[in-house]
Amino acid sequence: MPTEDELFAAVEALLAGEPEMPEPAERARLREAAGVTQARLAQVLQTTTQTVKNWEAGRAEPRAPRRQAYQRLLNGWAERFPADPAYAAPVQDTAAPEAFTGRTTPAEAQTLSTGQATQGAAAVDDTPSRMAAGPAPAAASRPVRTARGASTSGRHGAKKAAPAGTAVDGAADPRFENGPLAVVDVEDGQVLAYCVGGLVLDVPAKSIPALVDWTLREARLGQPKLSGPGKDGDPLIVLTEAALERYGLPVALTDEERLAGRLPEGHKVIKQLVRAEWKLTKRGFGPWARIYRPAQGSERACVQLCIPSWHALDSRHWGQAAQLAPADLARVLGVYASRVMTPRGSTAVTGLELMTALHPPTHAVRDEATGAFRKSETKTPGSLGEHPVDPAPCEAPDGHPLLKDLPRFHVRGPGEKLFEEAFDWARPLTDAECMRRNLVGIDVNMAFAAGANGLVVGLGEPTHVKAPVFDPKLPGSWLVDLSHVDLSRVQVAKDKWVDLDASLLPSPFTPKGERPEGPAWYATPTVAYAVELGYDVAPIEAYVRYDNGRYLDAWYNRLRDAFLATMADLGVHADMAPADFLVAMDGWRGRDPQLAIVVDAIKATVKGGLGKLRERPRGEGWRPGQPWRALSRPTWRPDIRAAVISRTRINFHRKIVKHAAFTGQYPVAILSDCVVYAVDGTSPLDFLPYRDGKPLPGGFKLGINPGLVKWEGTQSVLWGEEVRERFNAPELNLARYIKDGTVTDADNGE
């Protein structure tokens, strides 16, 4: 039994060893009052500017011997620059709901409504404080202080609590209380894991196998399942360059490794994983590595690694995310994870995985004999199942095994191949349009997501039918002659026909806007539009799918909500007045560049996910007529992709026809979801027909919701004519360059 003197001596030693540091906000105030920059302070303390930023943001705490020196400096400044009572705002006032960084729990909302202070609670509670959405990130509030070493995951616990105004996705589930992911970095020799909400964890792992084990046993990272019969999201660990060096991995892949997409099998880290009985998926140890052990019952043991310096975060979709500081990268990926899902690979891979997560192929059923649960032998209703199905021959892309008996070099025409793609159409300007001053482009928000909304698609195998009666409610591919559809006279409403100048409009039945010359294969939405325009159709044959449903509805809803919530954080809200919307869209990226990255990633998830439905061979020694890896997935469904693109193109054409019928204005160029008009004004409001603030029914409407339009860009008519003359291309698609007017010789293949 220790004596009283021994106990008091131990307590005094503990108190002396950990001097009390001022709050992060106070540290920044004292430094600014002394007129010292962060860079100068870093120089004095022989550390980095980023480290000082982390100290003042509450993302990290100084360690000995810098802690004692920093403490002495702050004490000196505190005597010279005492705090002004008017300077410090009450804790409860720092959580103005202007920007989102995670999910808010009911308990957190109650804390905010009652104005309870969290600083005192943090000293006795061993979990990081998480509060509701707070100030915009450009002026984020300082983190609430917690007891040093407060443990949320065993003895290696949280270093700092989440900043006020943040919440961790999955906080309601104690298994994932630290969020879905962490960015692992090395700072001052210490390995740290930056989680969402500003939480920083100490990482004791000395190797990649130990890191995987720590992630699953102690880190409490992951994401709850998105659907009842689905699976929980595996934790994601992002490795910075410093972390790669610490764990014996290369900072960059060699050219050979980059082409292979992985490290060689003999790499020492892979050998470490093998010795520890961890496995890698078929794609190996690459930019998005999955490390796992076979599941034991319902318990999964799997960790996803993301390595930005190996180009895991494609700059086309993630912008400059790979160059962000660890805490900022954790924020960007955390917002994306909480609103879409934890990234499982590229945005395209994640888009496809989101479909499966929302509609799991199988579900558990109780065995009547034993009472135990087992996997159902039938697919989950509304899903694609867990076994791939062959497409119809007309839906198969060139080189598919179904087409291996075709003669070599045979080129399939419209009567053999379903070709549903987005618009790429342009025409010369008329004399009247040349007298206009400007070309104004408008762009449909999340056009392909809007095309998926409410769309009935096939879930099972196709059925071949000869001379069928067309059914607009039955998804499939139809061989039908639509060359008789004349756009010079169309039906825009029941018993209402209008005359149009068909030479100024693209045909809705081909991507290039050319009028079809005979029978061709079309998806259901395209044929249904011909009927809507008032013309009879007589299909020759069809491949229809009687097992069907609105498979993409949940997918659309989640991505729509993610997009709208993030744009709202950037000051662009749904249901804004047209003029207010245009003002809000001006400079929206600059309000928070990190959230702008999330917006781009969400858009890329839509397009990439749909593109993955018809993924083509990716090298691997493939030859025409042989199967490729993607064909083994139940989500390899070119018919669903075709239906979405068909509906998107038709929706766009319908609005163009409505606009022409009402205003007499015709497009001069269309590219995918962008259309250009020749007008006298500079703004969409100068030619879109609004009356008393209300748009033309069925026409274009300004707004941020998917399917509505935004301003894309304005250039002069003289600019357009000069560009076409320079390249000697009267039908050069000006919609491709309308945004900023930049055209290079490379754009025209020169």
pLDDT, tens digit (0-9, with 9 covering 90-100), for 53-108: 888 888 788 887 888 888 888 888 888 888 765 444 333 333 333 443 443 333 33
Task: Write the CATH number for 64.
Answer: 1.10.260
Domain finish residue from 50, 65, 88: 88
**Span 527-551, average pLDDT:** 97
Domain check: are 237 and 156 in the same one?
no
Chain segment 212-245, per-residue pLDDT in tens:
999 999 999 999 999 888 889 999 999 999 999 9
Domain check: are 244 and 313 in the same one?
yes
Within a domain: residue 190? yes
Domain check: are 181 and 134 in the same one?
no
**Span 133-152, average pLDDT:** 33
Within a domain: residue 513? no
Domain check: are 154 and 205 in the same one?
no
What are the helix (H) ranges across 286-426?
315-318, 326-339, 347-358
**How confident is residue 361, by pLDDT bands cut at 50, 70 and 90?**
very high
Domain check: are 269 and 227 in the same one?
yes
Within a domain: residue 329? yes
Answer left, alpha or beta for residue 101, where phi above 0 means left and psi between -120 and 50 means alpha.
Answer: alpha
More confident residue, 499 or 87: 499
Which pTM does this prediction carry?
0.80
Query: Side chain identity at 332, as an amino acid letter?
Result: V
User: In 3-state terms, what secondary structure has residue 438?
Assistant: strand
The reported pLDDT for the residue numbered 200 is 93
CA 40 from chain centre, in angstroms, equals: 38
Within a domain: residue 742? no
Euclidean distance between CA atoms 623 and 499, whole angstroms = 51
Residues 664 and 504: beta-carbon distance below 8 Å: no
What residues make up the domain containing 237? 173-345
Total structural domains within the chain: 3
**Span 331-357, average pLDDT:** 97
**Span 120-139, average pLDDT:** 33
Within a domain: residue 745? no
Domain check: are 235 and 179 in the same one?
yes
The reported pLDDT for the residue numbered 34 is 86
Q: What percentage of residues in the chain have a pLDDT greater than 70?
A: 84
**How confident is residue 558, by pLDDT bands cut at 50, 70 and 90?**
very high
Q: Which of 40-44, 193-197, 543-547 bottoms out in mean pLDDT, i.e. has the lowest? A: 40-44
Q: Token match 């000196």: residue? A: 76
More confident residue, 142 or 193: 193
The reported pLDDT for the residue numbered 298 is 62
**The most confident of 16-25, 149-158, 256-265, 672-681, by mean pLDDT:** 672-681
Domain check: are 144 and 274 in the same one?
no
Domain check: are 199 and 336 in the same one?
yes
Cα distances (Å, whole numbers) of residue 286 to 210, 607, 703: 19, 23, 40
Q: Which of 73-87, 103-117, 299-313, 647-661 bottoms out in mean pLDDT, i.e. has the lowest? A: 103-117
Within a domain: residue 286? yes
Is residue 624 pLDDT above 50, yes or no? yes
User: In 3-state terms, what secondary structure has residue 353?
Assistant: helix
Domain finish residue from 64, 88, 112: 88
More confident residue, 516 or 19: 516
Is residue 363 pLDDT above 60, yes or no? yes
Domain check: are 35 and 84 in the same one?
yes
Domain finish residue from 329, 345, 361: 345
The reported pLDDT for the residue numbered 348 is 97
Q: In the β-sheet with 541-544, what is the strand arrangement from edge to edge?
A: 463-466, 541-544, 476-481, 519-523
Residues contacting 692, CB < 8 A, separation 6+: none
**How confident is residue 494, by pLDDT bands cut at 50, 70 and 90?**
confident
Domain check: are 56 and 161 in the same one?
no
Chain segment 364-412, per-residue pLDDT in tens:
776 677 766 667 778 888 999 999 999 999 999 999 999 999 998 899 9
Domain check: are 193 and 78 in the same one?
no
Query: Average model confidence (pLDDT) for the chain?
Result: 85
Is residue 140 pLDDT above 80, yes or no? no
Domain check: are 143 and 211 in the same one?
no
Among 309, 396, 419, 354, which Cα is nearest to 608's? 354
Within a domain: residue 259? yes
The reported pLDDT for the residue numbered 495 is 81
Within a domain: residue 440? no
Euclidean distance between CA atoms 173 and 74, whole angstroms = 39
Is residue 270 pLDDT above 90, yes or no? yes
The reported pLDDT for the residue numbered 372 is 66
User: In 3-state terms, what secondary structure has residue 590?
Assistant: helix
Euclidean distance between CA atoms 523 and 527, whole angstroms = 7
More confident residue, 375 or 141: 375
Tell me 709's DSSP state. E
Q: Which two tokens stand for residue 438?
A: 């400007």
